[in-house]
Copies of this chain bind each other. A is one copy, B any other.
Amino acid sequence: MVKIDWKAKASALKKWIKSLSGGSEAGKAQVAALISPLAPKDGFPVLPKIKGAAFCSIEAGVRYKNRKDVMLVRLAPGTTVAGVFTKSATRAACILDAQAKLAKGAGKMRQGAAIVVNSGNSNAFTGRAGVQSVDAISQSVATALDLPVERVFSSSTGVIGEVLPHDRIVAVVADLAAGLSEGTISQAAQAIMTTDTFPKGASAVIAGDGGPIHISGIAKGSGMIAPDMATMLVYIFTDAKISALALQKMLSRQVDRTFNAITVDSDTSTSDALFLAATGQSEAAPLAGQVAKVFEAALADVMLALAHQVVRDGEGATKFVEVRVTGAKSDIDAKKVAMAIANSPLVKTAIAGEDPNWGRIVMAVGKSGAAADRDRLTIHFGDILVAQKGQRHKAYSEERAAAYMKQDELFIGVNLGLGHGETRVWTCDLTNRYIEINADYRS
């Protein structure tokens, strides 16, 4: 349905295809076929090392053989930790554990900390056994790294409803601890992948007061095959000096317009988690004043870049779509309208078909629950004015709009003409490939 210039993408992607497939020709071909056509053309970025954040990834055989499936991050003494988590009422044991630890002040304890992540099994809906698995893994890491168990956070992603074989993870903890290095965040980005078609990373460097401050983040998510649950996991590290409270506030402020502004299929995982850790080991002075503002903006940029990569790896995605809503009565109303458009199966299939079907935008605005007046509505596809004041614009050209829809990256603009509320969200199209990926019987 959508023609992809595979040749142009292939050369740019070659570098990390090689690292993923281990170099064999058959492996390369297999991986290349799986890569989202919307993957970043430049491959995985070089992420700056964060002093005080050391990584190790290893094969534990949680579910599959011959792939790294557990990663450990050790965070030096002085590190503050913040987190945001899925709002699901059926969230996994590791999420409940991390929330309880952060609520008890674990984020601001000035001791070292650790995050341990496994793929292959989400440890969700496993009852009391799930809690035991989290405790066993946390205790094992705490012992190996000489940390209080309250400072060990964990994430699990993969099949749900199967008891996590945590012994396999506990068995490799000593090796993980022995292999820690500040230079291996890119391997960590690969170890947390389940069905992602490319690893996701983003970074920023800002001028602090007395030296540079670095931010490096990795994420996984949205690529999904049965039997896995899509889970979005994000780990961002910085060497900034900042209190846990200030760190948490910044994170919470920025999450709404980044990770909470993307959608692939409107479904929410039981295990979504975003950790932000600040080691404080930059030469720069503690964040304050203007530098704190610049840092927060850079953090938001990193978060948005990672969020966009998650959408670009949406199952079956062939189009990356920005939906911008302005003129709403409130920002909340703007978000309602934008999400109604971004989640509408009719809008998303029309985009897959490269059909400038603006009637479906009108439909989505109408069903959103936000205040809207049909006769004040303005709709743009890119810079093409489609409809104005409740009617198709006189100069609207279907041919021009259809030509625009052939692009990989699309913009849909809706002005409600009612107030000053506005928002931006990002989504992808809904294709046959999504159905194939998710309807495949689990094997």
B161–A359 contact, CB under 8 A? yes
Looking at the complex, which one of B88, B161, B349, B436 makes contact with A358 (CB distance below 8 Å)? B161
Shortest A350–chain B CB gap in Å is 7
A99 interface residue (CB < 8 Å to B): no
A180 interface residue (CB < 8 Å to B): no
CA distance in complex: A348, B358 (Å): 26
A367–B267 contact, CB under 8 A? yes
CA distance in complex: A102, B107 (Å): 60
A363 interface residue (CB < 8 Å to B): yes
B359–A227 contact, CB under 8 A? yes
Give every chain B residue within 8 A of A432 (Cβ-Cβ).
432, 435-436
Give every chain B residue within 8 A of A345 (Cβ-Cβ).
265-267, 345, 430, 434, 438
A206 interface residue (CB < 8 Å to B): no
Shortest A416–chain B CB gap in Å is 9
Give every chain B residue within 8 A of A159 (Cβ-Cβ).
359
Shortest A335–chain B CB gap in Å is 15
CA distance in complex: A350, B265 (Å): 14
Given contacts A439-B353, A442-B355, contact A90 B362 (CB under 8 A): yes
User: Which A residues, 349 to 373, have Cβ-Cβ distances below 8 Å to chain B?
Assistant: 349-350, 352-355, 357-360, 362-368, 370-373
B265–A346 contact, CB under 8 A? yes
B439–A127 contact, CB under 8 A? no
B439–A350 contact, CB under 8 A? yes
Give every chain B residue within 8 A of A364 (Cβ-Cβ).
267
A377–B90 contact, CB under 8 A? yes
CA distance in complex: A402, B435 (Å): 18
A441 interface residue (CB < 8 Å to B): yes
A344 interface residue (CB < 8 Å to B): yes
Minimum CB distance partner of A88 in chain B: B366
By the criterion of a CB under 8 Å from any partner CB, how many residues of chain A are at the interface? 70
Given contacts A345-B434, A362-B90, A363-B268, contact A161 B387 (CB under 8 A): yes
Shortest A164–chain B CB gap in Å is 13
Max chain B C-beta neighbours (<10 A), residue from A372, A438, A439:
A439
Given contacts A363-B270, A366-B91, A371-B89, contact A353 B392 (CB under 8 A): no
A441–B270 contact, CB under 8 A? no
B365–A90 contact, CB under 8 A? yes
Max chain B C-beta neighbours (<10 A), residue from A270, A359, A371, A440:
A359
Shortest A365–chain B CB gap in Å is 6
Minimum CB distance partner of A122 in chain B: B359
Q: A88-B366, A127-B391, A129-B391 are in contact. List 11 more A-B contacts (CB 8 A).
A: A89-B366, A90-B363, A91-B366, A124-B359, A125-B392, A127-B390, A161-B391, A226-B357, A266-B345, A268-B366, A355-B440
A-B contact pairs, 24 of them (CB 8 A): A86-B366, A88-B363, A88-B366, A89-B365, A89-B367, A90-B363, A90-B366, A90-B372, A124-B359, A125-B362, A127-B390, A159-B359, A160-B362, A161-B391, A226-B350, A227-B357, A227-B359, A229-B363, A266-B344, A267-B344, A267-B345, A349-B439, A353-B439, A355-B441
